[in-house]
Structure 1
Amino acid sequence: MIAAGFGFREGAGVESLADALQAARAGGPAPEVIATLPAKAGHDALRALADRLALPLRAVAPDGRPTLTTSPAALAAHGTGSVAEAAALAAAGPGARLIGPRAISSDRMATCAIAVGETL
């Protein structure tokens, strides 16, 4: 499973999310699922991106695995160093690994990280 995990500000638009995804992929594998925290899963722009890419959207809770980056704001608000990285890892399943640290959209409204599960 290849999962794209997202963290974003409330005002993020679909282009911010798409920009973060493009930066996170950097020519790497295409995601099979989009994921974020349950509290963010209903965001219109994220649903629009999932529809645009014809990918399922999963709401996942961080499962305690360490992230490559740490945002003090994410740690305080969500108990994880990176919402994007934690969501990607949780959605990709046990044994998943990040292909790199989260990428930040050029407008700094969204982050995205890609995780690859063991099935590959």
Structure 2
Amino acid sequence: MIFAGIGSRKGVSEQQVLSAISAALAEYRLDLSSLGGLATASLKRDETAIHSAARQLGLPLIIVDDTDLARAGTETPSRSELSLTLTGVASVSEAAALAAAGEGARLLGPRLLLDSVTCALAISGEVE
């Protein structure tokens, strides 16, 4: 199962979020059917565009609690000083994707930044 972790500046649009997800999927030659859901940090729980994007895609949105985000945040290769200051993790999108994908999850690669939205893809540790 693959999860898309989403981070963003406040006030981005649904289309910006959808475009970042599409770009991340294209980067790894995946299609939308590969995604099991979207994930973001509790700090972003009220970000309308992220909720709207999840509804548009017909996917669940997982709001990762701060403890799980911090735990997963130790595994992120990217670093944003703003993210670190606001959330305590260096990459919200990477940490959220890892936390949502569960134990043994791994990132497919570093987050992708597109138009004020970051998207990272993580695959669960379960072997198919």
| In 1: Cα distance, 2:76 partner to 2:44 partner | 19
Tell me the equivalent position of 2:118. Answer: 111
Tell me the equivalent position of 1:17. Answer: 17
Runs of 4+ in 1 over 6 A off after TM superposition: none
Indicate whether 1:34 and 2:43 are aligned: no
In angstroms, what is the RMSD of aligned CA positions?
1.3
C-alpha deviation, 1:25, in angstroms = 1.4
TM-score normalised to the size of structure 1?
Answer: 0.91
- Number of residue pairs matched by the alignment: 118
Structure 2 regions of 5+ residues with no counterpart? none
> What SS class does the counterpart of residue 32 from structure 1 fall into?
strand
Tell me the equivalent position of 1:58. Answer: 62
Indicate whether 1:101 and 2:103 are aligned: no
Structure 1 regions of 5+ residues with no counterpart? none
Equivalent residue runs for 1:68-87 within 5 Å? 68-87=77-96
Letter in 2 for 1:115: A
TM-score normalised to the size of structure 2?
Answer: 0.86
| In 1: Cα distance, 2:77 partner to 2:24 partner | 13
